[in-house]
Every structure is written in C-alpha cells, then in structure tokens.
A = this chain, B = another copy of it.
Amino acid sequence: MYRPELKVVDCTIRDGGLMNDSHFPLEMVQNVFRLLAQSGVDMVELGYRNSKKMFDPAKYGPWRFTSDDDIKRVIEGVDYECEIAVMQDAHKAFADDLGPKENSPIDIVRVATYVKDVDKAIHLANNATDKGYKAAINIMAISHVIERELEEALQQIEEESNIVACYIVDSFGALYSEDIDYYIQKFKKYIKRAEIGVHCHNQQQLAFANTIEAIIKNANYVDGTLYGLGRGAGNCPLELLMGFLKNPKFNLAPVLDAIAKDIMPLEKEIFWGYSVPYMLSGILNVHPKEALKIHAMSDDDPKKFDYVGLYERLGEV
C-alpha cells in the first residue's frame, strides 16, 4: 500500500532504551541512524528529551536526555532526508528541557502522555510549536482509559494545540484489530487538524497486524523499531512494515544490515519479544511490569516458569 502522506517512524533508540536505561553506545546510534537514513524511513526518533531532575544521569544513558549535541554527533557526515524526533514524557519533562529551534537538529517533539496528564502534554506540545518545532501527542495506555475522559482529552487537544499527529498507543498490547478500528474512528471524530498515528506493542503478536489495520483505516503516522526492539514484547518490527508497504522510496537492505550488526548483538544482553508472561499481560490488559520482573529472574528459578500462578495473579487485578 503506497500512500505518499504515510509517515513511517523508527523509534528503536527511544523505545529500545526502555530495556537498557537508554545506554546505547554512540557508534551504535550513529550506525543505526546512517542505515535508517538510507532506508527511506520518514522519521527517526533518537531517544527521549526528559528531565535530569526526573531521571538520574548517573543511572540513565544519554538517550534518556538526548541533547542537541548528542544528535549532532549522530548525524555528522550523514546525508539524510528523514525528520529527527525526540520524545518528552508529559510527566517527566519540562518546557525548559527544550531549547529554541535555531541550530537544533530536531524537527519534531513527540509528547507521550497518560490521559490524566493531558494538560501537561498540551503545555509541552505548545512549548515545542511555540519554539518552532513540530509536535505530536501520543496517548499511552489507551486500553485503560475511561472513554469519557479520552473524549474530553481529544477535544482539548484539538482545541488547544497545534500538533501534526495524535497517536493511539497500545502500551499493553491488548488491542485486537477491531479495537484499532474503533479508536481510529473515535480519534477522527475529535482530531480534525492533525493526522492519527498508532504505536503498537507485541504482547499478543499483533503489533504488525494492528499497524496494517491502522494504515488501511487511514492512520498516517505509524511506528516501528528494528527487529521490534522495545519494551517487553517489543514493537511493530520495522522490517515487516517496510516489507508490506510498497512505497518505492523504501529500501529494506539497510534495515536488515542494521539489525544484523547493531540489534542482534543486543540479544546477548537483553530479552525482548513474545513470551508467555507478556502474552498474559496482553490478554489480561495489564501493565507488563510483572512480566518484566519475571524476565529478570534467572532461568534456574522455577518461579520463572510458573505461568499458571502468574495467570492467576494477573487476573486478580
């Protein structure tokens, strides 16, 4: 499906950073960016621009705070046409964390928010657009939102911000494709001046299928990551998305190269992807934090494989 207005966003360094406290070596980020630039992806998100008051820089790596200088080191010498994004968490970043657009390599600030923090999100999005950047608002944990509150938030976003996209974020990987339909229709009812985006998680192996469904239903911002690298079960794999899309500007080979050289070695250090604990979080529509704890256990710990016990515990929430 080739639709010129469709924007494919890679957020490997940003969402993947949730699995290693954003500690990617600079050379790895440079290589990933260089190859993504060759792949024709429309936007590359190079981490969070969150506050050092909210995250301890002694614990978290540079891509939790991604500075303009960090980005300049990444893009130096690379011929690129993609947009460059950073993410701010509505409740973990402040307006002052973002400087003026002059001389900044950032094109767009994506603000991730829970519905309850929508005022903070609009404040940060307006801070970005006032300073000359584009902005998007990504509504997280959509499957836990009371619909009346969602509708109010969407109305408020439409009236009070000037974003380019408003995202449905299936943080818990709980949505089926008919739910994606449902939320896109709901978003489109309120959001008239911005595109709709989707960011899917793979707890139920539906991230790619749900992203396709969203594309069919005219969502025009879609997120993927290299080999699905991302929190817990991970994200929609960018390589699958590019295989599906027929836009001739895309080139899969550099994506494969980046996976081989920069992503596969991470499998020795961190685990992401489908598993029974993540699957149970998805079908029960709960935060993956319990599943993340289980994955941190040693393989020798029999509790790691007490799936029946986990199913009972998660179902009691």
Contacts and interface: CB of A to CB of B under 8 A. Distances in A.
A257 B310 CA distance: 11
Given A237-B279, A305-B264, A244 B176 contact: yes
A227 B275 CA distance: 8
A190 to B, nearest CB: 28
Interface string A204-246: 1111111010000000000000010000000001011001100
Contact of A202 (B205, B210, B259): B205
A87 interface: no
Interface string A243-283: 11000000011001101110010000000011010011011
Nearest to A207: B205
A124 to B, nearest CB: 33
B256 A311 contact: yes
Nearest to A267: B299
B276 A256 contact: yes
A279 B241 CA distance: 11
A54 interface: no
A177 interface: yes
A150 to B, nearest CB: 24
A306 interface: yes
A308 interface: yes
Contacts of A252: 311
A311 B264 CA distance: 17
Interface in A263-317: 264, 273-274, 276, 279-280, 282-283, 305-308, 311-312
A314 to B, nearest CB: 11
A243 B283 contact: yes
A189 B222 CA distance: 36
A290 to B, nearest CB: 15
Contacts of A244: 176, 283
A260 B311 CA distance: 12
A283 B243 CA distance: 6
A240 B283 contact: yes
Interface string A82-103: 0000000000000000000000
19 contacts: A176-B212, A177-B177, A204-B208, A204-B243, A205-B207, A208-B209, A237-B279, A239-B279, A240-B279, A240-B283, A253-B308, A253-B312, A256-B280, A256-B307, A256-B308, A257-B307, A259-B276, A260-B307, A260-B308
